[in-house]
Structure 1
Amino acid sequence: MSLFRQLWLAVIASTIIAFAGSFVVSMVTARDYLEQQLAIKNNDNAASLALSMSQLDKDPVTVELQVAAVFDSGQYARVRVIDPEGATMIEKTSPEQAGDVPAWFTGLFPIQSHPGSAQVSSGWTQFGTVELVSHSRFAYRELWDGAFRLLLWFGLGGLGMGLIGMQILLRIKRPLDAVVGQAEAISERRFIRIEEPATPELKSLASAMNAMVDRVKAMFAEEAARLEQVRREATLDGLTGLANRAYFMNQLAAALNDDDAPPNGSLVMLRLADLAGVNRRAGRETADELLRRIGAAFTAIVGENPGAAAARLNGADFALLLPGNDNPAASADRLLGVLRDLVAAGLIDGERVGHLGSGVYRHGESLASLLARVDAAIASAEGEGDLGWRCADNGEAQCANNNADWRKLLECAIEAQRLRLIEFPVANSSGTLLHLECPLRLQAAEGGEWLAAGSFMPVASRLAMTSELDLAAVNLALERLALGLPAVAVNLSGESIFSADFRQRLHALIAGRRELAPRLWLEVAETGAFQHFDEFVGYARLLRPLGCRLGIEHFGRQFSQIGRLHDIGLDYLKVDGSFIRAIDSQPGNQAFLKGLCGIAHNIGLTVIAEGVQTQSELAALPALGFDGATGPAVPRS
C-alpha cells in the first residue's frame, strides 16, 4: 500500500474516531438533559394537578375527572392517585411508544422518564399522593432529530477537514514523489538531483540522496577522466595531440569502406624534409616546438571541417583526412603558409623545409592504392624543389553536383518514395539477433543506382533537408515492424534533432503506432548528439515515454562527455569502428574499451561494437564487455 494511501487512511480513521467519540458524548449528554427535563416536567405537572385537586371536592367522580382530563391530553404514560396508606385510588396508563423513531436507536440511547409526585391535601389533612409519568416519545423524537442535525454538521466538518487534509497531503506528497522519482531513476541508473523540500525530515532524505548522486557522478567523472587518458595514450600522439598512425589508418579505412561514409574525399600528407637535421642543429626542444606548431595547424583545420581527422604518422610525416571534400587546395595552401611562417621564425632551415602531397579518393578505393598515389605525389614534390605541393592523379574522382541539382534530386526521390532501408544484423556474443540496423538508401532516378546515405546525407544536411529523409526512414522502419520484423534500428541526423518541429512530428508519427515503438531503435551520431546536446536531451525525454530504444552511434571520439549521459535515459551506445579495427592486437585500445564498457554498464547502457571486420575482432569483444556487434564479421541469419 502506498504511503499516500496510508496517510489518507490514517486521516480518515482519525476523523471517524473523533466523530464517533464526539457523537456518542453528544448523544449521551443530550439524553441526560432530556431525562432531566422530563423529571422536572413530571414534578411540575404533578404539583399543578395536586394543587388543583386540593382546592376541589374530594368525591371520587371529581377526582377521576381531574385525573382523566390530565391523562387524556396524551402526554403521559401513567397518572396515578395513591391514598395515604399506599393503595391506588385511581390509575390511568398507556403503553410506552417511541413513535417513528427506530427501535435500535431507542435501544442504543434509552430515555428514562422518572415519575413526578405531589401531595393532595384536604384541609389540614393529607388526602393522597399524585404520581405522574410523561411519555418519552417526544424526548426520543427530539433526540433523533438532534442526531440527524449532528450528523449533518459532522459531515460538513468532515468534508472541510478532508479538503484541508488533501491539500496538506498533496503538499507533503510532492517532495515525496520527487524523492521516489529520484530513487526510480537511480534504479534505472540515471543519476539526477532534486530540489530539497522545506520539511526537515524530507529535506534530510533529499539531501542524502543528492549527496549520493553527487558522489556517484564524481566517481564516474574520475573514471571517465582516467579512461580518457588511456584513450589518448592509445590513439593520440603525445607531443602534438594528433591521432597516431594506427588509429588514423582505422579512420581512413572507415572513410574508404563504411556505407555511411561520404562517397569521396581527400587525403593530404606533409613530410618534413630534415627533421633529424633540425633536431641535431637546433636541439630537441626546438624540434618539439616545430612539431607542436605543425600539429596545432592540423588541429585548427580539423576543427573547421566536420568529420575531418589529422595524424602524425611517424616522426616527420603528417596526414589530413577530409571526407566529402574533393578539393584540398585550401587546406594545402594553409599548411604551406604555416611552413613558410616556421621558416621565417627560424625553426626550419630555409634550404630544406618540407613537401605536401594530396589525392582525391572515391568510396571503395583500397587503402594501399590511395597511400601509394599520395606518396607518389610527395615524391614528385620533393623532386621539384623545396616547399612544394603536388596533387595526385584524381583518377575517377567524381565531382559533386551543384546544390540546385541535389535539391531537385532529393525532392523528387522523397515525393516518388524512391527510398528504402537495407538490413545489417546486430547480434550478441551468442549470435542472438538484437536488432536489424537499417540505413537509408535513395534512388536518384527511376531504375537508377541506389545511393548509400554517405552519398546524399551530407548534401541534405547542407540543404536543411535531413528532416524529411529521417521521417521517411522512421516510417519505413515502422512499416517493417508491422510486417513482423523483431526490431529495427534507424539513425537520425543531428540537424534533424535540432529542429523542434521535427521532434514533434517524429513523436506524432511514432505515437500513432505506439504498439510498435518498443521494437524501434533510434540512434544519433555522437557528433550530432553533443553538438546539439540540449535539443538531444529534449528529444530523448520526449520519445522515451513511447517505449523506443534510444542510443548514440559512432561513439568514442568524445568519450570524455560520457558523464553527461547519466540522466538522459539512453539505452545503448555503438562504439565507432575506428576503435574496433584490429582490436585483438591493440592492448591500449583494449584497456580503453574495457573501461568504456564498464562505465556504460554502470549507467545502464548496452554497448555495441560497430564495423567488426574479422572473426578475431569479433572473438575479442565479449571479454572487453561488449553486449553486441555489427559489421561484415557478424553473420546474417
Structure 2
Amino acid sequence: MSLFRQLWLAVIASTIIAFAGSFIVSMVTARDYLEQQLAIKNNDNAASLALSMSQLDKDPITVELQVAAVFDSGQYAQVRVIDPDGKPMIEKTSPPSTGGVPDWFISLFPIESHPGSAQVTNGWTQFGTVELVSHNQFAYGELWNGAFRLLIWFGGGGMLMGLIGMQILLRIKRPLDAVVGQAQAISERRFIRIDEPTTPELKSLASAMNAMVSRVKAMFEEEAARLEQVRREATLDSLTGLANRSYFMNQLASALNDDDAPPNGSLVMLRLADLAGVNRRLGRDSADELLRRIGAHLSSHASTQPGAAAARLNGADFALLLPGNDNPAPIADQLLALLRDLVAAGLIDGEGVGHIGSGVYRHGESLASLLSRVDAAIASAEGEGNLGWRCANSDDAQCANNNADWRKVLECAIETQRLRLIEFPVANSSGTLLHLECPLRLQAAEDGEWLAAGSFMPVASRLAMTSELDLAAVNLALERLALGLPAVAVNLSGESIYDADFRQRLHAMLGHRRELAARLWLEVAEIGAFQHFDEFVAFTGLIRPLGCRLGIEHFGRQFSQIGRLHDIGLDYLKVDGSFIRAIDSQPGNQAFLKGLCGIAHNIGLTVIAEGVQTQDELDMLPELGFDGATGPAVPRV
C-alpha cells in the first residue's frame, strides 16, 4: 500500500474517531441544554397564562378563548386546564411531529419536554391548574442542524489536513525517491551521488548512501589507476611514453585491415644511426633527453590527428602512423628540422646520425610490404650519409581524389538510397549470437563499388553530413529488425552525437518504432565519446529509456577515463582490436585486459573483443573475462 493511501486512511480514521467523540459529547450536551430550556419555557408560559386567567372572568368561554389563543400559536403539543379535583376542564392536544428529523436520530437522542404548570385563582380560592407542554420538534431540528454542521466542519477539516499531509509527504518523498533512485542505480552498477535533504533522519540516510558510493567509486578508481599502469607497462615505452613495438604493430595492422579504417595513410619512420655513440660520448642522461625530445615531438603530431599513433620501435627507431594522410612530406621536414635543432643544442654531435623514411599505403596492403618499402627508404637515406629523408615509391599508393564533389556524391547516395548495411556476427564463447554488427556501405555511383565507412565517413565529417548518414543507418537497422533479425548494432559518429538536432531526430525515430528498440545496439567510437563527453551523456540519457543497448567501440586507448562511465548507464564495451591481436602470446596485455573485464563487469558492462584474427586469440578471450567477440575468427552463423 502506497504512503499516500496510508496517509489518507490515517486521516479518514482519525477524522471519524474525532468526529464520533465530538458528535456524541456535543449531541448529549446540546440535548440536555434543550431539555432544560423547554422546561423553563413551559413553566414561564404556564405561569403567564395562569396569571392572565386569574385576572379575568372565569366563565367557560373566556377561559377556553385564552387557552385557544395560546395553543393556536403552534408552539405547544398540549395545553390543558385541570380543576381542583384533577378533572380536565379544557384540553388542547396536537399530533406529534418530528419536523423532518430522521427517526433514528430521534431514537438515538430523545428530547423530553417536561410540562410546566401554574395555579389559576379566583380571588382567594383556587380555580384550577394550567399545564403546558411545548413541541420538541423545534429542539430536534436545532439538534439535527447542529449535528450536520459538525459533520461538515470535520469533513472539511479532515480534507484540509489530508491535503496538508500530502504536501508534507511529497516533501518527504522527494528525498526518499532520490535514495530509491540511487539504490536502483547501484543495482545497475551505476554509482551516483544525491543531494542531502534538510530533514535530519533522511539526511543521515542520504549521507550514508553517498558515503558508500564514494567508497565504491574510490575503490573503482584505484583499480582503474592500477590497470592503467599495467596498460602503460604493456603497451608503452617507459622512457618516451610512446607506444612500444608490439602495440604499434597491432595499431598499424588495424589501420591496414580494419573495415572502418581510412582508405589510405602514411607511415613515417625515424632512425638514429649512432645512438650508442651518443650515449658513450655525451652520457646516458643526454641520450635519454634526446630520446624524450624526439618522443614528445612525435606525440604532439599524433595528438593532433584522429587515429594517429607514435611509437618507439626499438632503441633507435621511431615511427609515426598517419591514417588518412597521404602527404608525409610536411611531417618529415619538421622531423629533419627537429634533428638539426638537437644538433644545435648539443644533444647530437654530428650530422649523419638521423635518417627518415616514409611510405604512403592503401587500405588492404600487407604489413610486411609496407614495412619493407619504408625500410628501403630509410636505407636509401642512410646511403647518403647526412640527415635526409626518402619517400618509398609504390605503384599501389594512390592519393585520394581531392577534386571529387563529395558533398554531391553523399547527398545523391542518401537521396537515392544507395546505402546498405553488411553483417558481421558478434558471438559469446559458446557461439551464441549476441548481435549482428552492421557497418554502413555507400555506393558512390550507380553500379559502382560499395565503399567502406572508412572511405567516406572522414569526408562526411568534414562536410558535417554524418548525422544524415547515421540516421539512414539506424533506419536501415530498424527495417532489418522488423524483418525478424534478433539484434543489430549500428555505429554512430561522434560528430552526430554532438548535434542536439540529431539526438532529437533519432529519439523521435526510435520512439515511433519502440517495439524494435530493445533489439537495437547503438555504439560510438571511444574517441568520439570522450571528445564530446557531455553530449554523449546527454545522448545516453535521452536514448536509454527507449530500451536500446548503448556502448562504446574501439575502447582501450583512453582506458584511464573509464571512471567517467560508471554512472551514465552504458551496456557494453568493445575493446579495440589493437589490444586483441596476438593476445595469446602477450602476457602484459593479458593482465591488462583481464583487469579491464573485471572493472567493466563491476559496473555492469558486457565486454566484447574486436578484430579477433585467429582461433588462438578467440580461445584465450574467455579466460580473460570477455563476454563475446567479433572478427574474422568468429564464424558466421
TM-score range, shorter chain: over 0.9
C-alpha separation in 2, matches of 1:196 and 1:492: 37
Deviates more, 1:182-191 or 1:548-557: 182-191
C-alpha separation in 2, matches of 1:616 and 1:114: 112
Q: 2:574 touches 2:609 (CA, 8 Å); kept in 1? A: yes
Paired amino acid for 2:510? I
Paired amino acid for 1:520? L
Change (3 A) 1:403 1:48: farther
Paired amino acid for 1:512? H
Partner in structure 2 of residue 225 of structure 1: 225
Partner in structure 2 of residue 514 of structure 1: 514
Partner in structure 2 of residue 168 of structure 1: 168
Partner in structure 2 of residue 117 of structure 1: 117
Q: 1:343 touches 1:353 (CA, 8 Å); kept in 2? A: no
Change (3 A) 1:80 1:626: farther
User: Shift of residue 72 of structure 1?
Assistant: 4.6
Partner in structure 1 of residue 102 of structure 2: 102
Q: 2:11 touches 2:161 (CA, 8 Å); kept in 1? A: no
Deviates more, 1:345-354 or 1:467-476: 345-354
**1:590 and 2:568 correspond:** no
Partner in structure 2 of residue 189 of structure 1: 189
Q: 1:4 touches 1:173 (CA, 8 Å); kept in 2? A: no
**1:318 and 2:318 correspond:** yes
Deviations 1:535-555 (A, max 9, x none): 111111111121111111111
User: Shift of residue 468 of structure 1?
Assistant: 0.8
C-alpha separation in 2, matches of 1:32 and 1:465: 91
User: Shift of residue 174 of structure 1?
Assistant: 2.6
C-alpha separation in 2, matches of 1:595 and 1:403: 48
Deviates more, 1:76-85 or 1:278-287: 76-85
Change (3 A) 1:100 1:381: same
**1:381 and 2:381 correspond:** yes
C-alpha separation in 2, matches of 1:24 and 1:337: 105
Q: 1:544 touches 1:569 (CA, 8 Å); kept in 2? A: yes
Change (3 A) 1:86 1:591: farther
Q: 1:308 touches 1:320 (CA, 8 Å); kept in 2? A: yes
Change (3 A) 1:281 1:5: farther
Deviations 1:489-522 (A, max 9, x none): 1011001111111111111111121221111111
Partner in structure 1 of residue 536 of structure 2: 536
User: Shift of residue 24 of structure 1?
Assistant: 4.1
User: Shift of residue 624 of structure 1?
Assistant: 1.8
Gaps of 5+ in 1: none
C-alpha separation in 2, matches of 1:616 and 1:22: 86
Deviates more, 1:377-386 or 1:66-75: 66-75
C-alpha separation in 2, matches of 1:12 and 1:576: 63
Change (3 A) 1:525 1:52: same
C-alpha separation in 1, matches of 2:110 and 2:628: 82
**1:269 and 2:269 correspond:** yes
Deviates more, 1:144-153 or 1:55-64: 55-64
**1:52 and 2:22 correspond:** no
SS of 1:608's equivalent in the other structure is strand
Deviations 1:564-591 (A, max 9, x none): 1122111111111111112222221121
User: Shift of residue 312 of structure 1?
Assistant: 1.0
User: Shift of residue 16 of structure 1?
Assistant: 4.2
C-alpha separation in 2, matches of 1:263 and 1:483: 33
Change (3 A) 1:358 1:604: same
Change (3 A) 1:444 1:404: closer
Change (3 A) 1:513 1:76: same
Partner in structure 2 of residue 426 of structure 1: 426
Deviations 1:274-331 (A, max 9, x none): 1122222222222211111111111111011111011111111111111111111111
**1:634 and 2:608 correspond:** no
SS of 2:400's equivalent in the other structure is coil
User: Shift of residue 365 of structure 1?
Assistant: 1.2
Change (3 A) 1:120 1:428: farther
SS of 2:405's equivalent in the other structure is helix
What does 1:131-210 correspond to in 2, within 5 Å? Answer: 131-210=131-210
Q: 1:78 touches 1:93 (CA, 8 Å); kept in 2? A: yes
User: Shift of residue 244 of structure 1?
Assistant: 1.0
**What is the total number of aligned residue pairs between the two structures?**
637
Deviations 1:119-143 (A, max 9, x none): 3344444455433322211222222
Paired amino acid for 2:310? A
Change (3 A) 1:627 1:80: farther
C-alpha separation in 1, matches of 2:23 and 2:529: 67
Partner in structure 1 of residue 574 of structure 2: 574
SS of 1:140's equivalent in the other structure is helix
Paired amino acid for 1:614? T
User: Shift of residue 95 of structure 1?
Assistant: 4.5
C-alpha separation in 2, matches of 1:126 and 1:73: 27
Partner in structure 2 of residue 413 of structure 1: 413
Paired amino acid for 1:45? N
Paired amino acid for 1:496? S
Change (3 A) 1:202 1:329: same
Deviations 1:395-438 (A, max 9, x none): 21221122652222111111111000011111122222211111
Partner in structure 2 of residue 328 of structure 1: 328
Give the alignment's TM-score, normalised by structure 1.
0.94
Gaps of 5+ in 2: none
User: Shift of residue 616 of structure 1?
Assistant: 1.7
SS of 1:370's equivalent in the other structure is helix
Paired amino acid for 2:349? D
Partner in structure 2 of residue 256 of structure 1: 256
Change (3 A) 1:199 1:442: same
C-alpha separation in 2, matches of 1:616 and 1:84: 132
C-alpha separation in 1, matches of 2:554 and 2:5: 48
Q: 2:116 touches 2:133 (CA, 8 Å); kept in 1? A: yes
Q: 2:360 touches 2:392 (CA, 8 Å); kept in 1? A: yes
Q: 2:83 touches 2:89 (CA, 8 Å); kept in 1? A: yes
SS of 2:441's equivalent in the other structure is strand
C-alpha separation in 2, matches of 1:168 and 1:136: 48
Deviates more, 1:586-595 or 1:86-95: 86-95
What does 1:8-19 correspond to in 2, within 5 Å? Answer: 8-19=8-19
SS of 1:78's equivalent in the other structure is strand
Superposition CA RMSD, Å:
2.2
C-alpha separation in 1, matches of 2:482 and 2:273: 62
Partner in structure 1 of residue 398 of structure 2: 398
Paired amino acid for 2:38? L
Deviates more, 1:477-486 or 1:20-29: 20-29
Aligned-residue identity in percent:
88
Partner in structure 1 of residue 39 of structure 2: 39
Paired amino acid for 1:363? H
Deviates more, 1:337-346 or 1:141-150: 141-150
Deviations 1:200-248 (A, max 9, x none): 2222222222222222221211111111111111111111111111111
Deviations 1:168-215 (A, max 9, x none): 333333333222222222222222222222222222222222222222
SS of 2:408's equivalent in the other structure is helix
Q: 1:413 touches 1:444 (CA, 8 Å); kept in 2? A: yes
SS of 2:322's equivalent in the other structure is strand
C-alpha separation in 2, matches of 1:97 and 1:6: 45
C-alpha separation in 2, matches of 1:431 and 1:73: 105
User: Shift of residue 159 of structure 1?
Assistant: 4.4
C-alpha separation in 2, matches of 1:354 and 1:594: 40
Q: 2:7 touches 2:166 (CA, 8 Å); kept in 1? A: no
C-alpha separation in 2, matches of 1:611 and 1:484: 27
Change (3 A) 1:90 1:24: same
Give the alignment's TM-score, normalised by structure 2.
0.94
C-alpha separation in 2, matches of 1:425 and 1:119: 118
Q: 1:326 touches 1:399 (CA, 8 Å); kept in 2? A: yes
SS of 1:631's equivalent in the other structure is coil
Deviates more, 1:54-63 or 1:332-341: 54-63
C-alpha separation in 2, matches of 1:205 and 1:333: 64
Q: 1:231 touches 1:589 (CA, 8 Å); kept in 2? A: yes
Q: 2:8 touches 2:162 (CA, 8 Å); kept in 1? A: no
Change (3 A) 1:47 1:623: farther
C-alpha separation in 1, matches of 2:80 and 2:551: 100
